[in-house]
Structure 1
Amino acid sequence: MNPPGTPQAPGGDRSTRSAGSTRSAGPARTHDHQASGRGALNRDLIVSAAIEYVDEHGLAMLTMRRLGEHLGVEAMSLYRYVNGREDLLEEIVRRMVDSLHVDSARRELLAGPGWQAYLQWLAHAVRRLARQHPQLFPLIATRHPAAPWLRPPLRSLDVVEDFLATLVDRGFSMENAVMAYRAFTSYLLGYLLLEVSTMSGRTVAEDSLTEVANSPPPSPMPLDGYPHIQRLETLLSQDHTDLEFELSLEDMLDRIERLLANDRS
């Protein structure tokens, strides 16, 4: 994040221009350090406003200029706090996914010997996030993760550490915990992408696919403080997509077979 003292790009903002400059009449702008009706401009406020803007207008419409207009400030003022649109999109994804991290209050609710309560809570939390932000969920699903084995929509180190620790602490072997992580994320991603595409009136996540095609790959993230991920990184990195597809297909066929059996009974 650039601190407030970081120099701006050439041209500056309106507050730094000569008072004698002539401009065509237009809507009055607030001071660069204060967004209209929102208080002092900062990174958190900018990210919240970007989420709000995309929810209303769609991802393709988000530009720094339009976001500045939405906040009532010059676009150049935003660069004091975010390093452009790519940085802003990364922060949006981080903000949304971090809401799935189990804090101390939630952990008390999920305490107990079983693992089902945690997976139930997590699945519903991800679905709630997708339904609240159908224009942004495809971005979470398709944007480059920080590591190739971080599978969307659970693409946060904190969330994956929660997942693995919860299952291992409740009797899962490390291998089975990783298999459960893969199966769980595949199920959520497939179902919820279909659901939000229906909600937003899009058959595919066009905006997000364009974003991921144009975005650079992220830098590797340090894993200090994530002991389960460190121990399981090799397993997480293995490619079992063919096997996972076949297992998921068999599971689906078994479900259909059970439906047929119920119809015949």
Structure 2
Amino acid sequence: MPTSPRAPLSRERILSAALSVADRDGLPALSMRRLGAALGVEAMSLYGHVRDKGDLLDGLVDHVVGMWADPLPDESDWRVVARTTMARAHEVLLARPWACELVAARPTVGRNRLRYAEALQRRMLDAGFSPQLAHHGLHLVDGTIMGFTLQELRRPTLQQLGEEVAAVARGERADEFPAITAVLADSAHDHAAEFALMTELILDGLERLHARETAERRTTDAPS
């Protein structure tokens, strides 16, 4: 019985296979030899499409960024674009803990990262943001995505935090730590709600800075 021809090797196919290996076995398991075996080729065959392991990792980062940058929101409102992108990025990175560390560590900027930055900053400029505020806005959005997600992924359990914290959580140290005891007794640790709250705080802050810029511009342009 004839076998179906194997798809030709390409950079996209290599990156998709690398994503599967990392998802299944973790990033430390990803090697050129392991990747070649997953694709049914010799490791040396990969070097016609990726220069080295660093190029593979950079390509993998851009592949992951493409998961939240494509398709880009078809919306002119900068707040909608930022909110949608932040939520999508947070979801993608939570589903792949290895990817959050990798995206934060690799400095190379790929095409999908540029597309995402272009889309957000274009909306900001169209809304009247100064180039400097649009620059700050992108970094604040990025910092919120990466910082909060990394913190959530690394957050220890109550048991890992130690007996001191566990005792406070049980209400046994209310005399010494009344504020913490009251908060723990009357609140739930909802990570999704916290990320949504942080997103709105960032967007509200940028909106206020934009309004301040607009008011200052009007004052400067007003006839004396």
Q: Same fold (TM over 0.5)?
A: yes
Q: Quickly say closer, same or farther: Cα 1:67–1:102, change in 2 above 3 A.
A: closer
The code of the aligned residue for 1:141 comes to: A
Q: Contact 2:69/2:112 (CA < 8 Å) preserved in 1?
A: no
Following superposition, the deviation at residue 102 of structure 1 comes to 5.9
Q: Contact 1:65/1:74 (CA < 8 Å) preserved in 2?
A: yes
**Residues 104-156 of structure 1 deviation map (CA, whole Å, 9 limit, x = unaligned):** 7x31xx23xx432111101111112202322122111111234xxx9xxx982
Q: Contact 2:100/2:146 (CA < 8 Å) preserved in 1?
A: no
Q: Quickly say closer, same or farther: Cα 1:142–1:155, change in 2 above 3 A.
A: farther
Question: Which residue in the other structure is 1:188 paired with?
Answer: 145
**Residues 7-60 of structure 1 deviation map (CA, whole Å, 9 limit, x = unaligned):** xxxxxxxxxxxxxxxxxxxxxxx9xx94xxxx3322211110001101111111
Secondary structure class of the residue paired with 1:136 = helix
Q: Quickly say closer, same or farther: Cα 1:179–1:43, change in 2 above 3 A.
A: closer
Secondary structure class of the residue paired with 2:91 = helix
Q: What TM-score comes out, normalization by structure 2 length? A: 0.60
Q: Contact 1:100/1:125 (CA < 8 Å) preserved in 2?
A: yes
Whether 1:161 and 2:118 are equivalent positions in the alignment is yes
Q: Quickly say closer, same or farther: Cα 1:198–1:78, change in 2 above 3 A.
A: farther
Question: Which residue in the other structure is 1:86 paired with?
Answer: 54
Question: Which residue in the other structure is 1:62 paired with?
Answer: 30
Question: Which residue in the other structure is 1:173 paired with?
Answer: 130
Question: Which residue in the other structure is 2:17 paired with?
Answer: 49
Q: Could you tell me how far apart the structure 1 residues matched to 2:104 and 2:59 are?
A: 15
Q: Contact 1:134/1:197 (CA < 8 Å) preserved in 2?
A: no
Question: Which residue in the other structure is 1:127 paired with?
Answer: 90
The code of the aligned residue for 2:36 comes to: G
Q: Contact 1:101/1:162 (CA < 8 Å) preserved in 2?
A: no
Greater helix content: 2
Q: Could you tell me how far apart the structure 1 residues matched to 2:64 and 2:8 are?
A: 22
Stretches of structure 1 that go unaligned for 5 or more consecutive residues are 1-29, 204-247, 252-265
Q: Note the aligned Cα RMSD (angstroms).
A: 3.2
